[in-house]
Amino acid sequence: MTDTMLELRSVSASYGAIQALQNVSLKVERGAIVALLGSNGAGKSTTLNAISHLIEPSAGEIHFDGQPIGRLPSDDIVRRGLVQVPEGRQVFKDMSVRENLELGAFLRKSSRREVGEDFERVYAMFPRLKERAEQRASTLSGGEQQMLAIGRALMGRPRMILLDEPSMGLSPILVEQIFEIILRLNREQGLTILVVEQDVRLALRVSSYAYILENGEMNLQGPSKQLLNDPAVRRAYLGV
């Protein structure tokens, strides 16, 4: 079994005439947290959407756990254990917390007992979701909705999750809480994680390796601690 969980090889993607990604290559090792960084419009979310096949790559290859997935439909990719938590959370606001979580297990062929066990695991990770299980998702705070989006992904029993801007719109205290949860998922459950994040300092702090996109192309990469101290990164992204 390869140590590389996810690999992109020279992936390109477009929105009509607009070239969003150009020859993007990256690797995520099994059990790692890897950050994908860059300014607004750099192509970060497009990269995640190409991996999940929410958009069609125009060139390149995408491999998950050693197998090509670039031409698979999104539901097949989820069944293989690769699940995306979308930007803006995108919970079903007119449905209850419990119903949102149930949707996360929709593609699995599992017994009621197994799904029940997963509910308990999610509720143990997010006690607030258990307290609000019968509430409509629209009544939750932004931080609680982010917990729900992550919990819904966990109901699919993923081996890897793609997190798109988990801190968006949250207070600094809630951002710290969400990233503590991300670290716990990695350390306690062994989840491999690729995270797109606007808080560059925090993303570099929790990840082991990072890639920086600029105008749809890979501009820089390296160990996160090294990039955190890189003068160019500090000037461009950390305001130092």
Please indicate, yes or no, if residue 111 is contained in any of the structural domains: no
The boundaries of the domain holding residue 176 are 4-90+160-237
Please indicate, yes or no, if residue 150 is contained in any of the structural domains: no
Please indicate, yes or no, if residue 113 is contained in any of the structural domains: no
DSSP letters of 72-124? Answer: S-HHHHHHTTEEEE-TT----TTSBHHHHHHHHTTTS---HHHHHHHHHHHHH
Please indicate, yes or no, if residue 210 is contained in any of the structural domains: yes
pTM listed for this prediction: 0.92
CA 166, CA 184: separation in Å to the nearest integer? 15
Please indicate, yes or no, if residue 118 is contained in any of the structural domains: no
Please indicate, yes or no, if residue 70 is contained in any of the structural domains: yes
Q: Sheet harboring 18-29: ordered strands across?
A: 18-29, 4-15, 59-64, 67-68
CATH of the domain at 194: 3.40.50.300
| b/e code 161-190 from CB counts within 10 Å (16+ = b) | bbbbbbbbebeeebbeebbebbeebbeeee
**Domains in the chain: how many in total?**
1
Please indicate, yes or no, if residue 15 is contained in any of the structural domains: yes
Residue 21 backbone dihedrals phi, psi, to 5 degrees? -135, 140
Per-residue pLDDT of the chain (240 residues; tens, 9 = 90+): 469 999 999 999 998 888 999 999 999 999 999 999 998 889 999 999 999 999 999 999 999 999 999 999 999 999 999 999 988 778 999 999 999 999 998 877 667 788 888 999 999 999 999 999 999 999 999 889 999 999 999 999 999 999 999 988 888 888 998 999 999 999 998 999 999 998 899 999 999 999 999 999 999 999 999 999 999 888 888 776
Please indicate, yes or no, if residue 104 is contained in any of the structural domains: no
